[in-house]
Amino acid sequence: MLRKPFIAGNWKMNMTVASAKKLIEELKPLVKDANCDVCLCVPAVLIPEAVKAAQGSNIKIGAQNIHWSASGAYTGEISADMLKDYGVQYAIIGHSERRQYFGETDETVNKRTLAALNSGITPIVCVGETLSERENGETENVIYRQLEQGLKGIDDVSKIVIAYEPVWAIGTGKTATDAQAQETVAFIRKTAGKLFCPKCAEKLIIQYGGSMNAGNCKGLMAQPDIDGGLIGGASLKLDFATIVNYDK
Ligand code: PGA
């Protein structure tokens, strides 16, 4: 298999120690025969409990952000090595909510992505256009810029995961159509081939994210360039297992 499908959950700022533990325990038997890689990106404070609960299963645990420095005077931040210490294997970088509410830019996305790679954490780098950018025909320009600037200095693009998340589809119940998602994801692969090398772009895992759920996952996953999903709302319930088992 050139690209193993990869379904990741993004819990955002949800769950408690008790509910996290309960959901992971319930998910474990339901996802154990998955043909894809499975990960849950949980709030930082829940990482220790989530790692413990997922032990011995095929569920990997990820973070939702990473600071680019190894240590220092950065109140409130968490470094890649600290996450690695707990067994974190993936980290979402540059989610649109961070770009929108926390001043994330292509430059900081780039620094965080490089820091993750340096520590052996696989970054899930999010890109995507807003509704007005789509309506103005700027989707490809915006995504080209996010890729060119956000991924600067990476030696092999197949070492990261990219999540295409149209901002207008996140948490709105408005999913991109299968064709819209495929078209933009194919553009991302073509651009990665141009910016890096066509061979690495062929190996690059690209997820779709934005109101992906148990009902629409099959159609999205059937698209030739879509290798997985980044699941928000539906990853907070057992529906996540249905998505992980999309091919059964
Ligand atoms: P959603 O979120 O599935 O709730 O739309 C996806 C995401 O923001 O990663």
Tell me, yes or no, whether 182 lies in a domain: yes
User: pLDDT tens digits, residue range 166-177?
Assistant: 999 998 988 889
Which atom of ligand 1 lies closest to the CA of 169? 5
Q: Is 10 in the pocket of ligand 1 (CB under 6 A)?
A: yes
Whether the predicted pLDDT of 218 surpasses 80: yes
Residue 180 located in a structural domain = yes
Dump pLDDT digits (tens) for 34-51.
999 999 999 999 999 999
Q: How confident is the model at residue 1 (pLDDT cuts 50, 70, 90)?
A: confident
User: Is the distance from CB of 114 to CB of 125 less than 8 angstroms?
Assistant: no
The number of the ligand 1 atom at minimal distance from the alpha carbon of 235 is 3
List the domain range (segments joined by +) for residue 78: 6-244
Decide if 186 is inside a domain: yes
Q: For residues 160 and 90, give the distance between their C-alpha atoms in angstroms, rounded to a whole number.
A: 9
How open is the CA angle 68-79-154, to the nearest 5 degrees? 40
| Number of domains within the chain | 1
> Does 170 fall in a domain?
yes
The answer as to whether 87 is a domain residue is yes
Instruction: Note if 67 is an active site residue.
Output: no
Tell me, what CATH number does 111's domain have?
Answer: 3.20.20.70
* Confidence grade of residue 159 (pLDDT, cut at 50, 70, 90): very high
Q: Output the CA 161–ligand 1 centroid distance in Å.
A: 16
Evaluate if pTM is beyond 0.85. Answer: yes
For ligand 1, atom 2, the nearest C-alpha belongs to 232
Q: What is the pLDDT of residues 70-126, one digit of tens each?
A: 999 999 999 999 999 999 999 999 999 999 999 999 999 999 999 999 999 999 999
Give the Cα separation of 89 and 103 in Å (integer): 25
Q: Report yes or no on 185 lying in a domain.
A: yes
CA 82 to ligand 1 center in whole angstroms: 26
Give 207 Cα–ligand 1 centroid separation in angstroms: 12
Could you tell me the pLDDT band of residue 135, with boundaries at 50, 70 and 90? very high
pLDDT over threshold 90, residue 217: yes
Say how far residue 201 (Cα) sits from the centre of its chain: 17
Specify whether the CB–CB gap between 127 and 150 falls below 8 A. Answer: yes
Catalytic residue among 49, 67, 95, 129: 95
In a domain, 139, yes or no: yes
Q: What is the pLDDT of residue 174?
A: 86
Q: Is the CB of 165 under 6 A from ligand 1?
A: yes
The answer to whether residue 1 is domain-embedded is no
Contact 233 CB / ligand 1 (< 6 Å): yes
Supply the mean pLDDT for the chain. Answer: 97
Residue 64 CB–ligand 1 contact under 6 Å: no
